[in-house]
Structure 1
Amino acid sequence: MTTATATRAAWLDDPWVRFGLRRGGRLLVSLWVLITAAFLMIHLIPGDPVRAALGPTAPAALVAARRESLGLNDPLLVQYLHYLRGVFTGDLGTSMKSQLPVSEVIGQRLPATLELAVLSFAVALLLAIPIGAAMGVLTRGGRRRGAELTFSSTSVVLGAIPEFLLGVAFVWLFAVQLGWFPVAGRSGPSSYVLPVLALAIGPAAALARIMRVEMLTVLQADHVRTARAKRLPAARVYLRHALPGALTAAITLGGLLLSALVAGTVLVENVFAWPGLGGTIVSSILDKDYPVVQGIVLVYGAGVLVVNLLVDVTLALLDPRSVIRES
């Protein structure tokens, strides 16, 4: 075996290298599937998508010209290759309605959606982790059955209510009846409160339940019992020995919740007239502006894939043994 071959074999034997190759390959395959699905979207629509977008009264010459400008008269493989090239060069096409580049439309709306999703995720974590951990400590060993029942019932109910229904209820109570917050729009710090809470409460309830269960499990672990036997302060036992172990499952679920939050912004943004991608994709579907719909679907899908990758990397860093076992 040559030196180069031995070096390559040693490099591939590293579990972190195999982890990176495996996750990177999975990401590339998922991106390819996402891009292909977005491309086929416009071709799976019954009838002529250009005629549907322009309306039945549009002149035939205009429909033909628009089809030619969109490249829909080319063979399907040629269209696919052009679409792939456009995606990787940032050219997602042109909006049928506004005639603006799709990338420009997305660039104008994406920051508002990201703000809403990231703030909601942060609020969900800030609520769920301390509440779930505290309930785990308080109800360990079957203690405080009443508090456990109240917490479980409340969290299940809050987690089952759709975000847009919470949004409508918040608008009616806190904006219309009490006048504490703006009814809609993105006009200042106070305008963020209701949509962020509408998005965060359900995920926070689900995450708090998971956090409590994980905390109960960790509190029975040997290292926590050893820490108690050493008569360490209770706060140190819970924060330094129990909480880090319980956070692993919370981070996993938190990543899934962040992915769901990005998708959940669609309905909440429409409830609060939020100027983000959620309202844009709904109006584009109604206007049959398919290039914009394709572009936003790509952004949402890519966001979910990136979040899942970040969760995998974070878990690997927190628990390297899992990477070695998987490898």
Structure 2
Amino acid sequence: MATNQPGDQLLYELRAREAWSQRDYEKARVIAGQAVDLALQDDNQVAWWNMAFFQAECFREEGAVEESVKVAELLRAHPLTDQSPALAARVLTLLGIGLQGIGQLPSAVDAARNAVDLAARDNAPRELLINALRALIATLAESDQVGEAWNECLVLAALITTDTSSQISGKAYWVIGNVAFLRQEVADGAKYHRLAAAHLSPNNDLDLWARFNRASAAKRLAAGVVDAETLECIERAETASSIVGGNDRDQLELSLTRAHWLVLTGQLNAAVKRLKPICADSTILASQTAGEANLLLGRALAGRGDDIEAMNYLDAAKANFIQSGAHDRAAHVAELIESLMQPESTTT
């Protein structure tokens, strides 16, 4: 039986991180899994923890969010996590993002809030708190708790200094801008997203640049902002995505953003054509995002007079929002369904 050499663990870790840097997340995850197995054989708990966490991040980047959540849950129960508030904050931040990604919004908020509480302790790295706050703000906003999300945005903005790394600052401004748009504060939303764009360089991380521009466009469209700057965001995201690829979920969300633009600009036939395959494949999306897709398709169909077909998609949207815990959006869809039923009831 072959024995493990002292440098094997480090070699696996270096190879995994090299694959990550080349955006080969599947390869990175497989190598990290080998490192996890080796750490178990050697009873090296620290190495196991680090590589298992890295595995969870790889799963997330691959779009396998449920798998990422499973590993994060294992890490949360590990003795090392119990012993370190900083490690616990990292795990709970990862878990909050993952739970949001699979549409478990109340649990996502709880995990992210606990991460913030742990990261706010004395001597914790500021970056840890910034990342935890970003997760909490995103989960609150997705849960329709926009007022509370904005309060946390004010805390986050105060943490950004000239010493904060450019990418960390960019991601923070990004989430603050998202919430401003949700509050219909369009000028503030645009301001913070321009700050984010100034800190996030396509030369440093083209994939992140694609995701930022897609998200910026999505939040602008949600606020009803249909202008040249919004279209530029969509086109930048599509161009960057065509270069870096991205997982199936990323591609579907980008297509959904373009479809939203088509709906708001009155191109209903083109919107329906794009939205039907998105809704058919929506099981790979978070349930609240699937709800947005079904809602858009219902609106587009109703807009061109296909009320009966529209009702089917609006019913699906309502169910998606209820499942994820986005009750305000579910209530909004219920009102749309009622308004579509109203003309029928008045003629009978």
Normalised TM-score (structure 1): 0.25
Q: Which has the larger radius of gyration?
A: 1
Normalised TM-score (structure 2): 0.24
